Every structure is written in C-alpha cells, then in structure tokens.
Amino acid sequence: MIDLRSDTVTRPTPAMRDAMHAAPVGDDVLGDDPSVQQLEAHVAALLGKQASMFVPSGTMANQCAIRVHTQPGDEIIAHEGSHIMHYEGGGPAVISGCMIAPLSGLHGRFSAQQVRSAVRVDNVHYPRSALLLIENTHNRGGGSPWPVAQLHEVCDAARDAGLRVHIDGARLWNASVALGVPAAQLASKADSVSVCLSKGLGAPVGSLLVGSHECIARARRVRKMLGGGMRQAGLLAAAGLHALHHHVAGLAQDHEHAKLLARAIASNPGLALSEQHEALAGGERVPSTNIVLFSLRDGLAAQLCERLREAGLLALPTGDRSVRVVTHLDVSPEQAQRAAGVLATIR
C-alpha cells in the first residue's frame, strides 16, 4: 500500500532509530536534556533567531506564539484557508481569546495592500489588530511557497502598522528547498516561526517555535499551561536532529514525485488539478512542493479514494469532490511511478 494521505505518515528510518537509541537524555522540564538543548540551538541558528522551544506539535507551537503576541479581544489577520482557522480546534478563540480577520487569495497568499486594508483603526468598538499570521508553505493552497519578495512586503506592511508577525512554517523546509533560499531568509522578517520535524523530514513527532529570547521565555510559560512539557524528550530531539542533518535535501525528490503525480492526474479526463497549483509558462499546472490537490469532474471523492485503496493507493478526500495526495520520505521512485500509473487510469 502506498500511503499518500499526508507527509505525517512517515516512519523513522533505521539510522534515525539508531540516533534515538544513542541519544543522551535528561529532564527537559528541568532544562537539562542535552539532546533537546542541542536541537533547540541548532534550529534557532538555522532560522537566524536567538532561541527556540521544542514542543509536541505544530498546533501547540502556533498556539503558544499566538498567546505570546496577543491579548484577549485582539484580532489576527490570516489567510481564509490557514491552518489555525481550519485545523487547530478553535485554539485562537479558546486559548488566546482572539478573533481572526480572513484574507482571500490563490495559493494561500495575499498582498501587502490587503494587510494594510485589514488593519483596524484604533476605535473602542473594534478588536485591536495585533498579529499577522503567514503559512509557508500553504497546505490548502496546494503546498505553495511564498516568493521571498512578496513575503517580505507583507511582513513590512504588518510591521508598519504595529503588528507582530508569526510564520506557520510547518513545511518551511519544503519552501526553502523549492525556492533555493536558506530558511533563515524566509524567517528574517518574522517575530516567531514554527517549524515541523514530523512531516517531510520523517521524525516521529515534534515541532519547534523560534524567536527572540523574550518571546521564547514567554512561550515556555504558555507551553507549561498547555501541558506541553516533556521529560526525557531527547529521544525525540535526536530524531529531529538526524532528520535536519540527513533528510532536508531529499525534499527535492518529494517535489519531483509530486510533479509526476500531478501530470498523471492532468492526463486523466475524469480528474482536474486544482487552480491552487500555479501554471508554468506553457500553461501546465504543477505543484511547487509535495502537495497535490485535484477534483473529480463527476462522482464523489470518498468513492474515488475507496477505488484508489483497492488499487493499492491511500489518498485523502478533502471535500465532496476534492482529493489530496502528498509525497514524502517513505515514497520511493518506484512507488511514485506506480502511483502515477494508478492516478492516470483510475475511473
């Protein structure tokens, strides 16, 4: 069975398991787990920030950041398809007491002018615009990365308006590889960034929140309130360190596999690639990274996914007629070719 439901389904490689077995550990809540300390220092340096904090999930990292940057009654400006709106259980409202002002735009992106227009005037009747949240790459936007210039423009617009900036970078490593720029360049304008180790990089669990010393010190208090402290977390940190040292370059192959699947889907008259995927100069639509979104011209997505399962392929229905497939570390070139054959011929 080829599992393309998500890049979260990866399993630790034998070498990663060896690194976990050999990891020196302590009590992270007491601040003395050497493997966690090494991971946090390494990721902070990779993103050009002062400090970072290891947490169990990207959702916790995002919610810690929101709580640090806002007060109850504040408003967050974010894309209408953002992860914090759709997949974090109403966390901004429950944990931080914040509203979200949604912005539209293909590929999960919006303009600096949209940000400026969304900022509330200072009036007692309105919530206070406090935070701009950017998702890079954007899940519901077809795994699209933000062009560096546009990313910096919207961050500058937010800062000019007095807003903080948080980047949900669950797949920031994919954006870095796809654009050919260091992750630090993508993080440079943000007050905080969350990054994930358990998606394309193949670690079993874990994300990090990076930012200034002050930001991370405050975030540690929030993590404690949310119950996110872990004890001998060095076993997990060692997996993340191994992934960062050995698996980032392999994301490029995942991106090529996604293009292969997208072209197979485009050749199937019963399927249509999502417009979230950007068109190349010749008009062909292909994904920029490892997420492929498509729809059925007729029929139901759940029924198609059942037929795909019978053909040895797991895919995720995302709506009545929409489906997502995601390439990752555990999909070999041979499996990608086989999956493409199934997607090209499925009816």
pLDDT of 9 = 96
267 contacts 344 by C-beta, under 8 angstroms: yes
pLDDT of 279 = 79
Residue type at 280? L
pLDDT digits (tens), the chain, 347 positions: 999 999 999 999 999 999 999 999 999 999 999 999 999 999 999 999 999 999 999 999 999 999 999 999 999 999 999 999 999 999 999 999 999 999 999 999 999 999 999 999 999 999 999 999 999 999 999 999 999 999 999 999 999 999 999 999 999 999 999 999 999 999 999 999 999 999 989 999 999 999 999 999 999 999 999 999 999 999 999 999 999 999 999 999 999 999 999 999 999 999 999 999 987 767 788 899 999 999 999 999 999 999 999 999 999 999 999 999 999 999 999 999 999 999 999 98
188-241 confidence digits (pLDDT tens): 999 999 999 999 899 999 999 999 999 999 999 999 999 999 999 999 999 999
Domains of the chain: 14-246 (3.40.640.10), 250-345 (3.90.1150.10)
Q: Which of 150, 149, 171, 342 is closest to 255 using CA atoms? A: 171
Residues 6+ apart with CB under 8 A from 28: 36, 54, 229, 230, 231, 232, 233, 234
pLDDT of 284 = 83
pLDDT of 281 = 62
Q: Which of 224, 204, 220 is closest to 212 using CA atoms? A: 220
Q: How far apart are CA 65 and CA 166, in angstroms?
A: 7
- Collapsed DSSP state (helix, strand, coil) of residue 225: helix
Residues 6+ apart with CB under 8 A from 224: none
Q: How far apart are CA 58 and CA 145, in angstroms?
A: 18
- Burial zone of 172 (CB within 10 Å; 0-12 exposed, 13-18 middle, 19+ buried): buried
Q: Which residues pair with 132 in a beta bridge?
A: 77, 165
pLDDT of 225 = 96
Residues 6+ apart with CB under 8 A from 144: 107, 108, 109, 137, 138, 276, 277, 278, 288, 289
12-61 confidence digits (pLDDT tens): 999 999 999 999 999 999 999 999 999 999 999 999 999 999 999 999 99
250 contacts 330 by C-beta, under 8 angstroms: no
pTM across the whole model: 0.96
Could you write out the DSSP letters of every residue in 163-201? Answer: -EEEEEETTHHHHHHHHTS-HHHHHTT-SEEEEESSSTT
How many residues does this entry show for the chain?
A: 347
Tokens of 255: 């991106």
3-state helix, strand, coil in the chain (%, to 5): 45, 20, 40
Q: How far apart are CA 27 and CA 34, in angstroms?
A: 9
Backbone angles phi, psi at 339, to 5 degrees: -65, -40
pLDDT of 280 = 75
